[in-house]
Amino acid sequence: MNATEITVLEEIELDNPIFIEALPGIGHVGKLAADHMIDEFEATKFAEIYSPTFPPQVLVKDEGVIGNMINELYYLKDIGEDNLDLIILVGNTQSLSPEGQYLACKEILEFVKQYGISRIFTLGGMATGQPIENPKVLGAATHAEDVELLKEADIEIRSNDGGIVGASGLFLGLAVRQGIHGSCLMGETPGYFIDAESAEAILDKLSFLLNFEINVDKLEERAEETRQMIARAQQMEQDLINKANAGTADDLRYIG
């Protein structure tokens, strides 16, 4: 395999679809939000993407069955009040190297362009390093008019505070060179666990921007699990501190 391979599972026709990228990243925020959309709206997978730029491994799933490192494209038709068509990119990996990111993102963008994409949204997380009670959604965009749209959704605009690393930034960078408008939505997240609360915040903003409604009950259940996990992690951290202060800390080991 010398180049990215895109296997088309179903030939489709879409009406100026919006392209949504949500590959794994910080807190898996974007991926969780997009996976929820796929489940709730019963999106259809129409293409699978394999690339030599992906990690050289497979995943071991239930009952010892392996799964490939893969990206997938799903489509939805007539979503929301504006009857929008969507193409959603998800997967279990991003490319490993900077060169691989450019190659894979460029080829995926060229592929989805043939469906006449009208706009791009990339979804991801922005690490805070600490728990957040009410995660904000921050945004950036390819054009000034797109920034104004984000402001209308009460999205906090990032300004002079660093870059957007990985596919969520690169797709926008590649798109703007081709005159395609796009925006990135970044949910605040501690960054060290799968963050359902931040994913829900992103979905709230995306549904406003694209004028659709989505049931987030399952995400709310996951968010409660997340809150409990934070509480347990904080208690474990405090217990370790207490043991260390008492001079009885055990030798901590892990498998990574």
Q: Which CATH number fits the domain that encloses residue 192? A: 3.40.50.10900
Q: Is the pLDDT of residue 156 over 80?
A: yes
User: Does 249 map to a domain?
Assistant: no
User: Does 247 map to a domain?
Assistant: no
User: Does 255 map to a domain?
Assistant: no
User: Does 92 map to a domain?
Assistant: yes
Q: For residue 73, with 0-12 CB atoms within 10 Å meaning exposed, 13-18 middle and 19 or more buried, which class applies? A: buried
User: Does 52 map to a domain?
Assistant: yes
Neighbours of 53 (CB within 10 A): 22
Range of the domain at 16: 5-216
User: Does 237 map to a domain?
Assistant: no
On average, the pLDDT of the chain sits at 90
Strand 44-50 vs strand 71-79: parallel, antiparallel, or unpaired? Answer: antiparallel
| Global confidence as pTM | 0.87
Residue with the larger pLDDT of the pair 231 and 67 = 67
Length of the chain: 256
Residue 249: pLDDT band (50, 70, 90) is: very low
Task: Say how many domains are in the chain.
Answer: 1
Confidence at residue 227, expressed as pLDDT on a 0 to 100 scale: 66
Rounded to whole angstroms, the Cα distance separating 230 from 224 reads 10
User: Does 230 map to a domain?
Assistant: no
User: Does 248 map to a domain?
Assistant: no
